[in-house]
Structure 1
Amino acid sequence: MTYVRAGRPDEAAALTALALRSKAYWGYDEAFLAACREELAVRPADVTARRTAVAERDGGLLGFTMLDGDPPVGAVGMMFVDPDTIGQGVGRLLFEHAVAQARRLGFEALTIDADPNAEPFYTAMGAVRIGVTPSGSVPGRELPLLELDLT
């Protein structure tokens, strides 16, 4: 059974590795992944500060999400699913968990700086594109900026 729980600081290295595997799933080359490595790094202090939730099954990490910011508007700071479990509902489970947590905390909206390949997932979950945002890793690259209304 897959369930979602709070992430632990001692999982930071495993979460970083998962994020990089997930990003590589989309066919990005090594140079691109190297450029993203720092931005995708999860540090132990980030796990608690960024409200990290992990999906787990039989002791294995399947994915994670981070809920950033303070009400009324926050952000899905990171969300990655292990490539072996893409299409199995792990992303939906994590996203719904983040949305429920955001609502409990009083958020009215969440923004998402989405990888272009993940935009269809987020729009299927109810987010809408509101613009673009510059990549934090690759100069000149723009990412879809999405928003989910929680009201």
Structure 2
Amino acid sequence: MNVDLYLGLLRNAERTLATSFRQVADGHGDEPDVYNLCHTLAEQCDDHVSQLHPIVERYGARPDSEPERFHADALTETRSGPVGLLRDLQDVFLLASLVDITWTVVKQAALALRDEELLAVVGSCEPETQVQLSWLKTRMKQAAPQALIVAS
């Protein structure tokens, strides 16, 4: 059984996403909505990791030995200006997309295993990840005209 492989991937991806949301919040603190909401979304990711804990205790969380193919690094620094915000949000969107599809894969395993506890965790966390993606996409749409059309 390889559920532990995807649980490890999911846990690490959620941690990475939390770190990246905080980096964007702190790097773009002049944007109040970005600052406040990114911190809130980071806390959601932290909560997802906490909810996964009992599942990981049961199945384990094997680290993935594949090279960076299915991994994404957290943002370590933010870019400046409107284009920088747009690019940083896009990077976080890619991370959140990885988290989202990993929740989908884990859900399929939970269904096959008939694991009600894991299904409950997925049912709680997956919709929040989808809301994160929706907000990121909306915020990028809002930032794009300013960043791409208005002269800097």
Q: Which has the higher helix share?
A: 2
Identify which of structures 1 and 2 has the higher relative contact order when contacts are C-alpha pairs closer than 8 Å and 6+ apart: 2
Q: Same fold (TM over 0.5)?
A: no
* TM-score (norm: length of structure 2): 0.34
Q: Which has the higher strand share?
A: 1
Bigger CA radius of gyration: 2
